[in-house]
Amino acid sequence: MTVDAIAAAPRPPADFNPIDQAFLADPYPMLKRLSEECPVFFSPELGFWGVMRYDDIAPVLADFETFSNASVRFPPIPEDLAARVPDGFFSKAFIAMDPPEHTKYRKEGNRGFTRGRMKELEEPVRAIANELIDGIIDRGACDFMHEYGYALTVRTIMQLLDIPVEKMEIMRALAEDFPSIVQDGIDPMPPDERHERWARMVEVREYFAAMVEERRANPGEDMVSVLSGTKDEDGGYVFDTQRLVTHMTEFIFGGTDTTANLMAFTIQLLDQDPAQREQVLADPSLIDNTIEEVLRRRSPTVGIFKTTTREVEVGGITIPAGALVWLAIAAAAHDPERFPEPERFDIHRTNAKDHMTFGKGRHFCIGAPLTRTEARVGLEVLFERLPGLRVVPGQQLEFQPILLTNVLQGLDVTW
């Protein structure tokens, strides 16, 4: 049946390339074409199935028994570094677990992202944002991504984990390495790049492991202390050291790139719509729904992967067992059946929050509260301090070539 299903499946257009710079800069024309011509397809070149439409993706996200996170391909480790990485480390990641295992660890992990903890974080985020703007305001221009977006988000997650500020460049490198390593099992990196990224990952994991042991011995109020000291009903630690290390690498990635790119896309979209920009500047209470509309209109999450545990029909197409499936979250957010006039950016859209950028159901992103808090506070300070900020026109934008998220490499702005 597998061969028959593959042979019968629709194919995407020959020019479909989800890691091409043109696609990453504006994926929506191609995603619209796919949604209309082949909403469920198989790509022999890329080795995965694609699902485009909202009403097909939503039930897939809810059906963890058929569409598994735990079966996503394990990234290869260079032989000379393999001994320094524990077996099966990737299977301990939140993004690689299914219930009931995922439920157990997710419940405890949520303690790091409570509403109260996010409220307490607002003033530190505001202080970091003001400090960053103090350093650039007199210049009248900057690279937004590096001097504000990534700087703000990396320092915020570092504060949450109580990582010394002098480790900032190491943490920023980790945020870039993590998605490339995860994707390596699907879209292989060149050997030299793989070794370079893994060498940094191994060193960071060893640093994190020492941190976990130290926080267990001398706990503070930070998230690492809270999670490392969490015990089960038998008195044992819920998170062993290597599991918590893996979660820490996830937190660094999830707590930096998504938010930084969300803020950048907000600036771009408002720059293209002066009337709505003026509304947001005049009424900061509009920022919350503006963020949701940006998450819908220009989602930092392009797609996520699942693996089928059995043969299943999606959108009238049979997908075999053991298939790698790419759920195009960005396409679902432009489904006209769910979002009328999906190309239109509307900060007042009443159902903007129905997007699935953070997933859905049991695998709803654990760090979503952090992203929303960081983005809101970061944009509030930015618009208050630099109301004349504009995107430099005509610049060539570059993105990290990954299938999972949009990771913008730089964005020149002036004020």
Say if CB 155 and CB 131 are below 8 A apart: no
The domain in which residue 27 lies consists of 2-414
Maximum alpha-carbon separation in the chain:
65
> What CATH number corresponds to the domain at position 280?
1.10.630.10
This prediction has a pTM of: 0.90
Query: What tokens does 54 get?
Result: 């909202």
Interacting residues of 405 by C-beta distance below 8 A, sequence separation 6+: 179, 257, 258, 261, 300, 301, 302
Cα–Cα distance measured from residue 372 to residue 340, given in angstroms and rounded to the nearest whole number: 24
Say if CB 65 and CB 380 are below 8 A apart: no
**Residue-level pLDDT, tens digit, the chain, 415 residues:** 467 778 889 999 999 999 999 999 999 999 999 999 999 999 999 999 999 999 999 999 999 899 998 755 567 789 999 889 887 776 677 666 667 776 677 777 777 777 788 888 899 999 999 999 999 999 999 999 999 999 999 999 999 899 999 999 999 999 889 888 888 877 788 999 999 999 999 999 999 999 999 999 999 989 999 999 988 888 888 888 998 998 899 888 877 888 999 999 999 999 999 999 999 999 999 999 999 999 999 999 999 899 999 999 999 999 999 999 999 999 999 999 999 999 999 999 999 999 999 887 666 777 788 899 999 999 999 999 999 999 999 999 999 888 888 889 999 999 9
Residue 362: predicted pLDDT? 65
Number of domains in the chain: 1
